[in-house]
Amino acid sequence: MKLSFGMVGGGNGAFIGNVHRRGAIMDNLAELTAGCFTRDMEKNRKTADEWGVADPSRVYANFREMAEAESKRRDGIDFVSIVTPTDTHYEIAKCFLEHGINVVCDKPVCLTLEEGLELQKIAQEKGLEFGVTYTYASYAIIRQAREMIDAGVIGNIIKIVAEYPQDWLIVSTVAQKSDQALWRLDPKRAGPSACCADIGTHLEALIARMTGLKLERVMARFTHYKGSVLEHDIDVMLEYEGGVPGAMWASQIASGNDCGVCVRVYGDKGAIEWRHTQPMEIKYTPLAKPTRTIVANREYNDAACTEQCRLPAGHPEGFYEAFGNIYHSFCIHLLARKTGGDPGTFRHPTIEDGIAGLRFVDACVKSDKQGNAWVSLYE
């Protein structure tokens, strides 16, 4: 049995749209059958043709028309993927949820915590799945790291350090030629935060997935390049349950860096490190012993890791496969609801993870405005 899905956004040559599409169809669990890919109907139809939407009547001029029509069809879409700028997420997601259609949404889920909580409530009341595409948290090797940490391999966690340096915003700002840079730095479209909401939330979700620890307090300092209203760079002190400390740096003005995601988890018996530049590997260092490289899809891996791998050992998997893992789990859960089957052990990032990200951003914004004070995520 194959699910049917639609997309809102992602057309007109947008990079992330095709990533979502490929992730959704990767394991042959879903088929793209409808969409409103862009506001320009000519480009909309062109995208539909390129992506194999067979029925031209299911190429819609706007998302409201799409939600209304698809909810009335016997063969209507099982879920929608929302791949648009952040300021549109809330109204689009709410519309589809109210029409009884499951949702996968790019992160951050919306502009404010209040909006996110409302979407969560609607999804729960209607019994709908709501997935959020935290990509870095969905690599197979991250499951291996979590299994090892849960098993006590590195002992009690005593420190977490995470970073995400990239330079595309400073490059785009200097060149003055990126539409992506313009909307991400506009408070009306990006909300109260730029860097923290855009990439800081990725680190928050990644740490949560690797360690299972609940973030309780933050102390944040934002850097605004050339007087920008929204920040380009963040330094955040973290405090997790049990008083476990952490430190986070994320920057979009770090010259010479692309997507340098790195998380280090230190315990009293050893440490684990993951870098996005080597997405199939973690470095495990037992206390006072040499560092070992653990690679995904090897016989020594835990089943939680290997079940997320698609290629034979020695063949690298990466960004597309991480998206595929999210959509695979989302589709398996939907199919299980329809057929009563087994949803498996992997759980994709959900609206609850999206809410955690919004709480993180909200607390960081408050902390920066309060002169870098400690702020609780659950005040």
pTM as predicted: 0.94
Alpha-carbon 90 to chain mean position: 16
Helix (H, G, I), strand (E, B) or coil at 129: coil
Which residue's entry shows tokens 């089943």?
303
Residue 167 pLDDT exceeds 80? yes
Residue 38 lies in a domain: yes
Question: What domain range is 223 assigned to?
Answer: 139-308+355-376
Virtual torsion, Cα 46, 50, 54, 55, nearest 10 deg = -20
Residue 319 lies in a domain: no
If you average pLDDT over residues 266-289, what whole number do you get?
Answer: 97
Give yes or no: residues 100 and 114 share one domain. yes
Domain tally for the chain?
2
Give yes or no: residues 73 and 219 share one domain. no
CATH number, domain with residue 362: 3.30.360.10
Residue 320 lies in a domain: no
Residue 16 lies in a domain: yes
- 225-253 residue pLDDT tens: 888 899 999 999 999 999 999 999 999 99
If you average pLDDT over residues 359-369, what whole number do you get?
Answer: 98
Confidence of residue 179 (pLDDT cuts 50, 70, 90): low
Q: What is the pLDDT of residue 345?
A: 67
Please give the single-letter amino acid code of residue 128: L
Using CA of residue 284, residue 269, residue 360, residue 353, what is the dihedral sign? Answer: positive
Residue 174 pLDDT exceeds 90? no
Give yes or no: residues 215 and 330 share one domain. no
Residue 286 pLDDT exceeds 60? yes
